[in-house]
A and B are shown apart, each in its own frame.
Chain A
Amino acid sequence: MKSANRELVDRLAAEYVLGTLRYRARRRFERWLLSPQVGAIVKAWEDRLAGLEPQLTPVTPSAAVWRGIENKLELRKMQRRPAMRWLGVAASLIFFVAVGVFITRPPAQPPMTAQSSLQTDPQTIYWRVEVLGDNQELNLRVQTVHDLPAGKSHELWALPEGGAPVSLGVLPHTGDHHRVLNAAQRAALANSKQIAVSLEVEGGSPTGAPTEVLFAAPLSRA
């Protein structure tokens, strides 16, 4: 990042965290958050300004709040839904095996151990996904911009065998991105032979499960 850009991003990040950006500026800035560099600058400001958090006496909300959350996330339905049904849907989709392309990268990152090309036909690869190290990190490289209706996001999923899909986060639409996975994501990815892309409301699935699966692709282990 150029130093002038870095200064601008730093200033916007500070006011984003403080909360003084106007609504549209906030939304615009959030698009930049997909960049790990911008994410790190925001995180640094969150840590700095955490010192301003006030001490407050806890207040118990009414029982209606939990009921509302249960309804919005359809938690009761989720408890009854067998995970295998969704995997059956995913398995019926057409996949294309990608030819592994090894790309050299700085030594700071673990070596690539698996990769996948997310595509719906042999000519058009939308995202190239590289798994680094022991399923610890991902590189996401946008190859072709996939159509995205307004107010929607694309989300990436690990499809662990015998388990429910686990979100690997919302997919970016420009550039190359690096993402560190948490323990649950690593475990899910380690047991996955495929990954999938779903269409979600902006920001990701409201239920914790994929809403509309667009396509899936195999993971080629190196």
Chain B
Amino acid sequence: MNRTDTLPPDIELARLLQQCAAADTVAFRTLYDKTSPILFARLLRMLRRRSVAEEVLQDVFVRIWQRAAQFEAHRGRALAWMVTIARYCAIDLMRRERMTLVSDDAIAEVADEASGEPGGLEKPNNFDHCIGKLNDNTRQCLTLAFVEGRSHDEIARLTTNPLGSVKSWIRRGLLALKDCLSSEGQTT
């Protein structure tokens, strides 16, 4: 789907965040109504279980309310800022509880039928080109980590690769991505 069909532009979300920073609870409810379905879908993608994702979604919005004053409209995009908070809340829980979420039963609870293809947020220039230059193993490891919140150990198990290889692919993949984006970015 195209998110711009249903979501207000970032500038409106940024304005709502500024109102939240000034303790405007009505603006906070509006922000929740507009963004909670996206953030919930994102959490479900990582946490799989609806009950767990709903608990974390509460923490995400508590944090958004507390941190609204720290959102710097000129530095970042509002939706990306909120999605990042959601990802970090989910990762914190998964790492703290050492959650293992690989059972097929749990996956059946995932409500999204979307492709899960990249493109949910604005990409850096040349991102597709740079991610395409990575080998398949590396790309798969980065995607499992970022999109699903998998740990090194889980990725090794899921992909049946040695843990050392997974760690090394991820480390080198991140460096290669950074180098490619910075060098290609200068030529465009």
Contact = CB atoms under 8 A, between A and B. Distances in A.
Interface string A46-81: 111111111111111110111011001101001100
Contacts of A78: 23, 25
A108 B36 CA distance: 39
B25 A79 contact: yes
A172 interface: no
Contact of B58 (A56, A60, A72, A205): A72
B95 A22 contact: yes
Contacts of B177: 48
A159 to B, nearest CB: 14
A110 interface: no
A51 B131 contact: yes
A61 B36 contact: yes
Contact of A59 (B40, B55, B91): B40
A166 interface: yes
B102 to A, nearest CB: 16
B47 interface: no
Contact of A56 (B22, B72, B112, B127): B112
A95 B58 CA distance: 38
Interface in A118-166: 164, 166
Q: Count chain A CB atoms within 10 A of each CB in B87, B91, B115, B174 and give the residue with the most.
A: B174
Contacts of A168: 69
A47 to B, nearest CB: 6
Given A169-B69, A206-B66, A184 B91 contact: no
Contacts of A62: 54
Interface residues of A, number: 56
A53 B36 CA distance: 16
B101 interface: no
A157 to B, nearest CB: 10
B18 A182 contact: yes
A21 B96 CA distance: 11
Contacts of B21: 166-167, 182, 184-185
A12 to B, nearest CB: 11
A204 B66 contact: yes
A66 B40 CA distance: 12
Contacts of B28: 75
A183 interface: yes
Nearest to A7: B175
B123 to A, nearest CB: 4
Given A48-B124, A61-B36, A205-B66, A54 B114 contact: yes
A183 B95 contact: no
A69 B70 CA distance: 20
The 6 closest A-B CB pairs, nearest first, are A58-B37, A51-B127, A51-B123, A53-B120, A23-B95, A184-B21
9 contacts: A14-B175, A20-B170, A53-B120, A55-B115, A58-B38, A58-B40, A66-B29, A182-B71, A182-B72
Interface of B: 1, 3, 6, 18-23, 25, 28-29, 32, 36-38, 40-42, 44-45, 53-55, 57-58, 61-63, 65-73, 75-76, 80, 83-84, 87-88, 91-92, 95-96, 98, 111-124, 127-128, 131, 142-143, 145-147, 149, 151-152, 170-171, 174-175, 177-178, 181
Given A53-B83, A58-B37, 10 more contacts: A10-B178, A19-B91, A47-B124, A50-B123, A53-B80, A56-B41, A61-B36, A69-B32, A69-B65, A78-B25
